[in-house]
Amino acid sequence: MQKISVVRIFMTLALILTSLNLVAKDAENVEKEGKDGLKTEIKEFIDHHLLDSHDFTLFSDKETGKHFGFPLPVILWDGGLKVFSSSKFHHGETVAEVDGEYYKLYHSKIYKTDAEGTIEYDDEHHAINAKPLDFSITKNVVSIFLIGLLMFFMFRGLAKSYKKNNGIPTGAGRFLEPLVLFVRDEIAIPNIGENKYRRYMSFLLTVFFFIWFLNLLGMTPLAVNVTGNIAVTFALALITFLITNFTANKNYWGHIFWMPGVPTFMKIVLAPIELLGVFIKPFSLMIRLYANMTAGHVVLMSIVGLMFIFKSWIGSPLSFGLAFALSILELLVAALQAYIFTMLAALYFGMANEEAHH
């Protein structure tokens, strides 16, 4: 009887330990699934921040499904002009019907679809639905308009203060004047030359303040990422490319197609390489600004997301402190990227106008 009781005791203990082990594994799996779901949610939030959108969403309540913000106008060309509010999409949850046609917002792009909102895919899971021409006023476009108006009124005020006070700025002009002089004395004149820098000053000032202000706007809770949009950086690089080549002198083109002082055979070999460099320069401008600003947003938001993953008295404060330090560093990067883009643009303008020395 005692042996039987001992065996029963061991069997009972074994069952209890097995049950506890299963419970622990289930709890671990639940916790792991919860963390994986949170990581996926953070990744989706970062992706949403980096992409442009057809509405301005300040914040959302996940439990109630409500979004707080305001819609923007959607302008499409699909067999005719179609204009409607982005609220019809309800943040991509519903299908918009306009003049008998159905449109769906999918991954920040508008596709033609049916009443059920069907999206068809290819073998690589890419949407293959037809897309109308999209001329919508998106979040990035609104941000560009706002910065453009801000710059217009700021520099208009600076010009008026010069006129009224005999060249002495007042108000916001006292903040702008040192920066204008910095662009002129430290960027334009050293790289372009004392005689030719004036014709480029308007562009250099515009691109410097435009990039800087947009970078600063991207650090606000409005969650805009204009300079992290490759279409914007492409447009800035394209304008720089056009100005460089349309204002270049004969000496510039001579050094590209028929380099002086070089043997004829080497001229034939080097000409395609030099011509390729004409396109590589603006391409580097585009990629540098796009990659640096995108990487900064991704790193900063990833570190902020770690606070919600750790949920501990050690990990969360460390993540917050690191995010705060990086935010301060991003303020420097915002100005630094504007300076680098303007400096390289001035350097290209100077190279295009360099006089012959032989």
Q: Is the pLDDT of residue 157 over 80?
A: yes
Q: Is the pLDDT of residue 230 over 80?
A: yes
Taking a C-beta distance cutoff of 8 angstroms, is the pair 257, 271 a contact?
yes
With respect to residue 101, please indicate whether it lies within any of the assigned structural domains: yes
Q: 102-116, 141-155, 219-233, 321-335: which has the highest mean pLDDT?
A: 141-155
Residue 2 binned pLDDT confidence (cut-offs 50, 70, 90):
very low
Domain boundary among the residues 77, 110, 134 is at 134
Q: Is the pLDDT of residue 355 over 80?
A: no
Domain boundary among the residues 107, 134, 161 is at 134
Task: Among 15-29, 95-109, 242-256, name the one with the lowest average pLDDT.
Answer: 15-29
pLDDT digits (tens, 9 = 90+) for 309-327: 766 666 667 777 777 888 8
Give yes or no: residues 98 and 164 share one domain.
no
- Which of 245, 190, 191, 236 has the alpha carbon at shortest distance from 209? 236
Give yes or no: residues 101 and 157 share one domain.
no
Given this model, what pLDDT does residue 236 score?
95
Against a cut of 0.75, is the pTM above it?
A: yes
Give yes or no: residues 107 and 239 share one domain.
no
Averaged pLDDT, 112-130: 86
Q: Is the pLDDT of residue 11 over 90?
A: no
With respect to residue 39, please indicate whether it lies within any of the assigned structural domains: no
With respect to residue 49, please indicate whether it lies within any of the assigned structural domains: no
- Which of 212, 231, 210, 227 has the alpha carbon at shortest distance from 296? 227
**What is the C-alpha to C-alpha distance for residues 301 and 47, in angstroms, rounded to an integer?**
10
Given this model, what pLDDT does residue 336 score?
93
pLDDT digits (tens, 9 = 90+) for 38-66: 667 666 666 666 778 888 776 666 666 66
Q: Is the pLDDT of residue 10 over 50?
A: no
* DSSP SS3 for 101: strand
Averaged pLDDT, 97-123: 87
The total number of residues written for the chain in this structure: 358
pLDDT digits (tens, 9 = 90+) for 278-296: 899 999 999 999 988 888 8
Give yes or no: residues 184 and 90 share one domain.
no
Give yes or no: residues 172 and 93 share one domain.
no
The per-residue pLDDT of the chain, averaged, comes to 81
Give yes or no: residues 215 and 119 share one domain.
no
Between the CA of residue 164 and those of 57, 167, 179, 291, what are the distances in Å? 42, 8, 21, 43
Which residues make Cβ contacts (< 8 Å) with residue 192, sequence separation at least 6? 200, 346, 349, 350, 353
Give yes or no: residues 124 and 143 share one domain.
no
Give yes or no: residues 72 and 220 share one domain.
no
Burial bucket for residue 61 (CB in 10 Å: 0-12, 13-18, 19+): exposed
62 lies in which domain range?
Answer: 55-134
With respect to residue 240, please indicate whether it lies within any of the assigned structural domains: yes
Q: What percent of the chain stands above pLDDT 90?
A: 30
Averaged pLDDT, 28-32: 43
Burial bucket for residue 265 (CB in 10 Å: 0-12, 13-18, 19+): exposed
**What is the C-alpha to C-alpha distance for residues 244 and 151, in angstroms, rounded to an integer?**
24
